[in-house]
Structure 1
């Protein structure tokens, strides 16, 4: 994995081709994701990681709505904040420099780069960085990761930033 493209291909989990499926809608179903990215069905937490990864592979966000899409139906679900959390990170060298690799609460890996950038949104009245994923999804940066990043961040006139894949990503 010497290039950023090789790294992206090796790390990222493919999403199902939901944009190719033209399925009917079934409305809002009793699946929800709380503000800590825990998934629930009929009020009971879903803990099977394989099932969560399957659901994540068919989850998308468009026009203010989170949907699970299969070839036969498209169902809305309730998400309190972001469906995923970034819980850990490390760096990996590539030909253009160091890349920050973010790990989400499902154990999936995402390189911080132009394809998966940071954006700052308000959460509980505070500006918080989120990693932008594919299909309109985001992963909120967990507080412990944010504090670790704050310790290694560089500073310029615009504020604290991380350097990853030869780009600056601001934390606030």
Structure 2
């Protein structure tokens, strides 16, 4: 069956985005205890491109499949997890990229480079790192994995903040500061 990407974020209501998020069937990584571990020989570059043994993985379907198996442990190591194996992979910055954001009422919905949607809130917080000259903003996706906002998405989020108090955004009742101390 061919893959049909979801519609553009701007054309969806928050209810439709929530339905798409809920309909996505993801593997139960937190329930798996693989007995084997090793190195996947994979790397995710800071720009979101995936590599295996130095060659770029150019098939979006493969990237989406691998992304659904990603988790990050408390030490910051990223893993591809299956029921039988846990394979490490190198990640230059964040494993995923947030490529669009939309505000709908008191919710911020992000579209990722893997065609997934994330609605920021208590379970999906927004985190700011870096400094004023080179800010880095991330949204939590799942299993410790984060998506870094690309430049245009960061600019969109800054506009949302400027329309409010100028220093923070809110989503689902949670306020996230966009400036570092």
Tell me if the contact between 1:86 and 1:141 (Cα under 8 Å) persists in the aligned partners.
yes
Partner of 2:21: 11
Alignment of 1:24 onto 2:32: no
In the alignment, the residues of structure 2 paired with residue 64 and residue 151 of structure 1 have an alpha-carbon distance, to the nearest angstrom, of 31
In the alignment, the residues of structure 1 paired with residue 18 and residue 143 of structure 2 have an alpha-carbon distance, to the nearest angstrom, of 16
- After superposition, residues 6-155 of structure 1 pair within 5 angstroms as 8=18, 10-11=20-21, 13-62=24-73, 63-92=75-104, 97-122=105-130, 126-154=134-162
- Listed one character per residue, the Cα deviations across residues 75-131 of structure 1 (whole Å, up to 9, x for unaligned) are 111111100011112233xxxx431110011111001111111011238x8332100
* Secondary structure in 2 matching 1:153: helix
* Secondary structure in 2 matching 1:29: strand
Aligned length: 164
Question: What's the TM-score once normalised by structure 1's chain length?
Answer: 0.83
Larger strand proportion of the pair: 1
Specify every segment of 5 or more residues in structure 1 that has no aligned partner in the other structure, as ranges. none
Tell me if the contact between 1:14 and 1:57 (Cα under 8 Å) persists in the aligned partners.
no
Question: What's the TM-score once normalised by structure 2's chain length?
Answer: 0.79
Tell me if the contact between 1:112 and 1:118 (Cα under 8 Å) persists in the aligned partners.
yes
In the alignment, the residues of structure 2 paired with residue 7 and residue 114 of structure 1 have an alpha-carbon distance, to the nearest angstrom, of 17
Decide whether aligned partners of structure 1 residues 121 and 22 sit closer, same or farther in structure 2, where only a CA change above 3 A counts.
Answer: same
Decide whether aligned partners of structure 1 residues 14 and 120 sit closer, same or farther in structure 2, where only a CA change above 3 A counts.
Answer: farther
